[in-house]
Structure formats: structure tokens, C-alpha cells
Amino acid sequence: MGYDGKKRYRWRILIGQVALLLACLGMIEYLVRAEIVGSLYLSKPTQVAEEIYKLFADGEIFHDLLVTLKEFAAGYLLSAFAGIATGMFLVLVPHAENFFRPFLSALLAIPKVTIIPLLMLWLGIGLSHKVAIVFLFCFFTIAFNTITGIKQTAEAHLKVARVFEASKLQTIVKVILPSAAPTIFVSLRVSAATGLVGALFGEMVASKDGLGNLLVQATSLYDTAKAFGIITVVTVVSVLIIGVIDLLEKRVVLKWKSS
């Protein structure tokens, strides 16, 4: 297949995908319009689009969007730094991993959602509550992946550093962290998605604002179209966040990876 052939192939696939999407949306539109499915259960895509437009037009959503993003960003960044630092500490300090591993594994095993009510008791239902939830959702994955990544450092690469009389710090910065970077990024991408889930879930359980709260309000008023609108917005936010991390990964890691 030549270059033109590949291009044509890609276009055909894309046209097919768009067609399938439109067909699905059209089908739902028809089912709801013809009242085969009640508008309480499903919403016409056109009406959902209208609701999304309204959410942005009257500015209602901006406040909640900002709240959710703030909770996510704070919790996520905190867990990224703490997770990477913890992982490094455990591997690089002799005996630390052997000593702390069972504790960490036990904490990891606790289903995080079960602590949310307790966190509410300790932290209230504001920002710090959600930040803590996001942190708990992300921290362990990042810490464990950092440990795995560091352990993947090639023995031969460490030997090279020793021949050049690298200091401990130089070895960490110039050899160990770059070796671990791909594995750490995998966990950063995975936790970005779960972290957002944490923030939204926290808001749905107990909060005064945020997208999760907005969603609960919409569903409790049986405003199905608005609920679908919010779900769409949340999905786009999630995709954008992962996009940002992919971009970061491309800058840091992928330029040297053989594809």
C-alpha cells in the first residue's frame, strides 16, 4: 500500500466511524421522538446539545467546572509528587521497601470509597475533602509504578555511571529517573482518569458545588437531558486532561523511544 493508498484507507475508516456515530445518535433521536423510549430514561441528542449550550450560555457551569478542576488538580499534583517521592524513598533507601511494603500494600487494599464518609467527618465537605479523595485514588498507583520503574533501571546503565564516578544524586537524576520515566508516565495517565472520577464521586456524595453536585441535582429533578449534557462535558474534560499528559509524555519520554 503506497502513501496515497494509506491515506485513502484512513479516510474511508473515518467516514465509516462518523456514519456509525450519526446512525446511533439518529436512532436515539427517533426512539425518544416516537416515544418508544420515555424522555425520562433517554434524551434526544438535539435536546442534550441544547442543554450543553444553555449550561455554557448562562455561565452556570463555569463555577462548578472550576471547582472540580481545582479539586482534581490539587489532589493529582499532590499525589504525583508524593507518589514519586515515596516510590524513590522506598527503593533508594536500603531496607525501606522491605520494612514499609506490607503497610503500603494494606493501605492499597482498602477500597478507597469506603473512607469517603470518614473523610467527610474529618475534613468537612469542601475542597480539602475532595483533594484528599483524589489523592487517595491516585497516590498508590503512582508510588507502586515508580518502584517498578526504578527497578527496571538496567544494570549496565548503572555500571556506566559508576565508571564515570557519578555521585548518588547524579545517578538518581541522570540514570534512575530517566529509566523509570516511561513506567511513571503510565501511572500518571491512569491516575488522571481515576483522579477525576474521585473528585466527581466525592461531589456526588457530599458537596455544595462542582460538576458531580450539578449532576446529582439534575438527576434528582429528573432533568435527564441536562444530566446527559453534564456527562458529555465531564467526558470532554477527562479526554482533555489525558491529552495534556500525553503531550507532556511526548516531550519528556517518547522522542527517544523506538516506535
Partner 1 sequence: MAGFEVRGVSKVYGGATPTETLSNIDLTIEDGEFLSILGPSGCGKSTLLEILAGLQLPTSGEVWFGGAKLKGPGIERGVVFQDPSLYPWRSVAKNVQLGLEMRGVAKGERREDAQRYLDLVGLKGFEHKYPHHLSGGMKQRAGLARALANGPEVLLMDEPFGAVDHLTRLQLQDDLLRIWEAEKKTVVFVTHDVSEAVFLGDRVVLLSPRPGRINRIFQVPQARPRRRDDAGLLKIQNDIYAAIHEVKSSESLEFTI
**Integer Cα distance of 194 and 196 in angstroms:** 5
Q: Look-up: residue for cell 441528542?
A: 45
* 174 contributes a contact to partner 1 by CB under 8 A: yes
Q: Give min distance, CB of 165 to partner 1, in A.
A: 6
* 49 contributes a contact to partner 1 by CB under 8 A: no
Q: Give min distance, CB of 121 to partner 1, in A.
A: 46
**Among 151, 157, 189, 217, which residue interacts with partner 1 (rule: CB under 8 A)?**
157
Which C-beta is closer to partner 1: that of 92 or that of 253?
253
Q: Give min distance, CB of 154 to partner 1, in A.
A: 7
All residues at 6 or more sequence positions from 13 whose CB lies less than 8 Å from its CB, including other chains: none
* 181 contributes a contact to partner 1 by CB under 8 A: yes
Burial readout 27-50 (b: 16 or more C-beta within 10 A, e: otherwise): ebbeebeeeeeeeeebbbbebbbb
**Among 159, 235, 247, 250, which residue interacts with partner 1 (rule: CB under 8 A)?**
159
All residues at 6 or more sequence positions from 93 whose CB lies less than 8 Å from its CB, including other chains: none
* 208 contributes a contact to partner 1 by CB under 8 A: no
- Cell matching residue 39: 424522555
CA distances from 154 to 35, 151, 157, 180 (A): 63, 8, 5, 10
* 54 contributes a contact to partner 1 by CB under 8 A: no
* 170 contributes a contact to partner 1 by CB under 8 A: yes
Burial readout 119-139 (b: 16 or more C-beta within 10 A, e: otherwise): bbeeeebebebbbbbbbbbbb
* 172 contributes a contact to partner 1 by CB under 8 A: no
**Integer Cα distance of 226 and 96 in angstroms:** 51
**Among 178, 209, 223, 238, which residue interacts with partner 1 (rule: CB under 8 A)?**
178
Secondary structure letter of residue 114 according to DSSP? G
**Among 11, 81, 164, 222, which residue interacts with partner 1 (rule: CB under 8 A)?**
164
**Among 165, 208, 220, 251, which residue interacts with partner 1 (rule: CB under 8 A)?**
165
**Among 104, 175, 184, 196, which residue interacts with partner 1 (rule: CB under 8 A)?**
175
* 250 contributes a contact to partner 1 by CB under 8 A: no
* 163 contributes a contact to partner 1 by CB under 8 A: yes
**Among 15, 160, 221, 244, which residue interacts with partner 1 (rule: CB under 8 A)?**
160
170 near 111, Cβ under 8 Å?
no
What is the binding site for partner 1 (CB under 8 A)? 154, 156-157, 159-167, 170, 174-175, 178-179, 181, 253, 255-258
